[in-house]
Chains A and B, each alone.
Chain A
Amino acid sequence: MPGKPDQTGNKLGMWLFLYTEIILFGALFVLYAVYFSWYTQDFILGAKVLDLGFGVINTIILLVSSFLVAASITAVQKNQRNIALAALAGALVCGAVFLVNKYFEWGHKIETGIYPGSEKLLDGPAPQNLFFGLYYVVTGLHGIHIVIGMVLLAVSFGLVFCRKITAANDAVLDNCGLYWHLVDLIWIFIFPLFYLVV
């Protein structure tokens, strides 16, 4: 059928990309899991240094943002353009607040001498150096994904605003939404692994 977007193809293509992301973070989680099983006590001590408050607040923020992105897709389907725009704007604000929190969280760690290659970590027990190394790599990589996700959400916002994304043609919003949900999904596992093993 010429002219009609291939919805299944559009979606499957995005999902195939998401699988590579799952394997990417999956490999890092395995690395974490093996070291955790070897050096459980050191990892627990490391997790105690992390601020649970930041972890909980950022979890709530990402869950709310995922809800807003899902709501924007419903709104587009119902031709409620303003609600869709408001929901996407809200999700963008959530992403920004997440990054600001991360800035303060990392900033505080770095101030107290906990950063990759710092003297405190190099002179301390090696497993704790591993814990914080993984912490910076995993949350850093996740943070980069948040930034990319925000760019995609901003593009979607612009396209909804210009009426390029409509109920009949919402593949771009759908796929940008899928990416954002995946970023949320990864955080759902990062949070207990790093913050809750105390």
Chain B
Amino acid sequence: MEQASHIFSYKTLGLVLGALLILTGVTVGASYIDLGWINVWIALVIASTKASLVLVVFMHMKSAGKSVVVSFLSTVFFLAVMIGFIFWDVAFR
């Protein structure tokens, strides 16, 4: 079995938790600085970074196999198409 290779040590998991907590602090701090519309994008970029950490480390995305990685990215792509087309529609009404 290809076990063992895909488990993360407690230390790695702890470091990721630390990073997630720090990023939470950063996103809260950034919300107090008024940058107009950029604020939303900063919040979304930080949230996406946190999500990636959870996906790759906590959810073992890397060792889950190609089928999971490809299907997950396809889902994200579909979501992006949905968001893109809806905003496209809304913008030209």
Residues of A within 8 A of B (CB): 8, 11-12, 15-16, 19, 22-23, 26-27, 30, 33-34, 36-38, 52, 56, 59-60, 63-64, 66-67, 69-71, 73-74, 77-78, 167-168, 174, 177-178, 181-182, 184-185, 188-189, 191-193, 196-198
Known: A12-B71, A198-B31. A188 touches B65 (CB 8 A): no
Is the Cβ of B65 less than 8 Å from the Cβ of A192? no
Give 19 A-B pairs besides A177-B58, A185-B54, A198-B31 with Cβ atoms closer than 8 angstroms: A12-B71, A16-B71, A19-B71, A19-B72, A26-B79, A26-B83, A30-B82, A33-B83, A56-B28, A63-B17, A63-B20, A67-B17, A67-B58, A70-B8, A77-B4, A168-B3, A181-B58, A191-B24, A197-B31
A196 partner, pick from B1, B43, B60, beta carbons under 8 A: B43
The number of residues on chain B lying at the interface, defined by a beta carbon within 8 Å of a beta carbon of chain A, is: 46
Is the Cβ of B47 less than 8 Å from the Cβ of A192? yes
Whole-angstrom CA separation of A181 from B72 in the bound complex: 15
Could you say which residues of chain A place their CB within 8 Å of the CB of B20? 63
Could you say which residues of chain B place their CB within 8 Å of the CB of A197? 31, 39-40, 43
Could you say which residues of chain B place their CB within 8 Å of the CB of A64? 17
Pull 22 A–B residue pairs with CB atoms less than 8 Å apart, ordered by A: A16-B71, A19-B71, A22-B75, A22-B79, A26-B79, A30-B82, A33-B87, A34-B90, A36-B40, A52-B28, A56-B24, A60-B24, A74-B8, A77-B7, A181-B58, A185-B51, A188-B47, A191-B47, A192-B46, A197-B31, A197-B39, A198-B31
Tally inter-chain residue pairs, CB-CB below 8 A.
119
B86 partner, pick from A16, A30, A59, A63, beta carbons under 8 A: A30
Known: A192-B43, A198-B31. A12 touches B86 (CB 8 A): no
Known: A19-B72, A69-B58. A188 touches B50 (CB 8 A): yes
0/1 per residue, B9-23, Cβ < 8 Å to A?
Answer: 110011011001100
Whole-angstrom CA separation of A177 from B59 in the bound complex: 8
User: Which DSSP category, helix, strand, loop or mixed, fits chain B's interface?
Assistant: helix
